[in-house]
């Protein structure tokens, strides 16, 4: 997309892909059919992001709270995830996309975890874009785990309490090495973050659209990019300071 200048683009876009159920129910379909349709949006958004030069794309696919959904829906989502990983590997290689997964992955069925590790391994040298799949992910869980990790290091005398700062804390999170999201998109209109990347979105621009996830495609993604370009990111500074810095 040449109309969008590279330098104005977010480096990292994170997406809360919400609204599959409502999309389906409003059409008299089952929720699972909504998730199936949502998979097509995932494909299209990944392709568009790659095409315009987004470096990092994080997709919230399944939250730690989503385990409490009806068993039938959970297993359908797991099947869809598995099929997605199997069918998209070729494309990831062709487009030089690297896949990473974050979340409490040990809770996943063994064959899904195996598939995730396989795709991570196969794509590890791809450098054009990184897709971070948040599955069985909860931000509070991630923060607790990071805290425990640092506490163990203090206990073992590897670091001192004073060594815990924003950098080392970020490095103990599952997103270690990944820059913070510049833009957070949530579809289906809900103005909440649902336990997603709480630490990492401290300064992200927020974009909430009423469009339901199965209807969120290339055009809608590009609209979000336009929105981002129109934002004035200040990071706590004054307009004058920012003008000077430029």
Which of 66, 104, 126, 195 does the annotation list as catalytic?
Answer: 66
Q: How far is the CB of 4 from Mg ion (least distance, A)?
A: 29
Distance of alpha carbon 156 from alpha carbon 110, whole angstroms: 32
- Among positions 77, 146, 178, 183, the unique one binding ligand IPE when judged by CB under 6 A: 77
* Residue 88 contact, options ligand IPE, Mg ion, none, Cβ 5-8 Å cut-off depending on partner type: none
Residue 194's binding partner out of Mg ion, ligand IPE, none, with CB under 5 to 8 Å set by partner kind? ligand IPE
Q: Is the distance from CB of 126 to CB of 93 less than 8 angstroms?
A: yes
Our finding on whether 194 is near ligand IPE (CB under 6 A) is: yes
* Site membership for ligand IPE, residue 18 (CB under 6 A): yes
**40 is known as an active-site residue:** no
Asked if 19 touches ligand IPE (CB under 6 A), the answer is yes
Helix (H) or strand (E) holding 58: strand 56-63
Q: Which of 1, 4, 11, 22 binds ligand IPE (CB under 6 A)?
A: 22
Q: Rule CB under 6 A: is residue 192 a binding residue for ligand IPE?
A: yes
> Which residues fall within 8 angstroms of residue 205, CB to CB, at 6 or more apart?
10, 182, 183, 184, 227, 228, 231, 233
Whether 18 sits among the annotated catalytic residues: the reply is yes
- Cα 232 to its chain centre, rounded Å, is 23
Instruction: Say how many CA atoms lie within 13 Å of 144 toward its Cβ.
Output: 8
* 97-102 sheet: strands from edge to edge: 97-102, 129-137, 56-63, 12-16, 183-186, 205-208
Identity of the residue, 18 or 205, whose beta carbon is nearer to Mg ion in the bound complex:
18
Residue 32: CA atoms inside 13 Å, Cβ hemisphere, count? 12
Please report whether residue 17 would count as binding ligand IPE according to CB under 6 A: yes
Query: What is the C-alpha separation between 108 and 78, in angstroms, rounded?
Result: 8
Contact 130, 53 (CB under 8 A): no
Contacting ligand IPE within 52-71 (CB under 6 A): 60-63, 66
Choice from 9, 12, 18, 112 touching Mg ion (CB under 5 A): 18
Taking each helix axis as running N to C, give the angle between helix 31-52 and helix 218-229, from 0 to 180 degrees, rounded to the nearest 10.
Answer: 50
119 binds, among Mg ion, ligand IPE, none (CB under 5 to 8 A by kind): none
- Asked if residue 16 binds ligand IPE (CB under 6 A), the reply is yes
Catalytic residue among 8, 18, 156, 180: 18
Binding site for ligand IPE (CB under 6 A): 16-22, 60-63, 66, 77, 188, 190, 192, 194, 213
Residues with a known catalytic role: 18, 66
């Amino acid at each position: 997309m040449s109309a969008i200048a590279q330098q104005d683009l977010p480096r990292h876009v994170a997406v809360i892909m919400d609204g599959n159920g409502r999309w389906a129910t409003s059409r008299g379909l089952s929720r699972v059919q909504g998730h199936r349709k949502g998979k097509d949006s995932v494909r299209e958004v990944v392709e568009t992001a790659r095409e315009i030069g987004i470096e990092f794309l994080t997709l919230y696919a399944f939250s730690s709270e989503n385990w409490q959904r009806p068993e039938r829906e959970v297993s359908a989502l797991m099947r869809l995830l598995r099929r997605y990983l199997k069918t998209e590997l070729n494309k990831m290689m062709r487009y030089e996309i690297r896949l990473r997964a974050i979340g409490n992955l040990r809770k996943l069925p063994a064959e899904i975890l195996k598939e995730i590790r396989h795709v991570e391994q196969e794509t590890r040298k791809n450098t054009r874009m990184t897709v971070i799949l948040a599955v069985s992910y909860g931000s509070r869980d991630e923060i607790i785990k990071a805290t425990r990790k640092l506490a163990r290091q203090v206990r073992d005398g590897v670091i001192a309490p004073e060594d815990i700062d924003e950098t080392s804390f970020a490095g103990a999170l599952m997103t270690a090495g990944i820059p913070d999201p510049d833009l957070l998109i949530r579809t289906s209109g809900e103005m909440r973050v649902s336990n997603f990347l709480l630490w990492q979105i401290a300064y992200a621009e927020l974009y909430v659209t009423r469009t339901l996830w199965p209807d969120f495609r290339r055009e809608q993604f590009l609209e979000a990019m336009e929105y981002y370009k129109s934002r004035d990111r200040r990071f706590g500074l004054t307009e004058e300071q920012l003008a000077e810095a430029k």
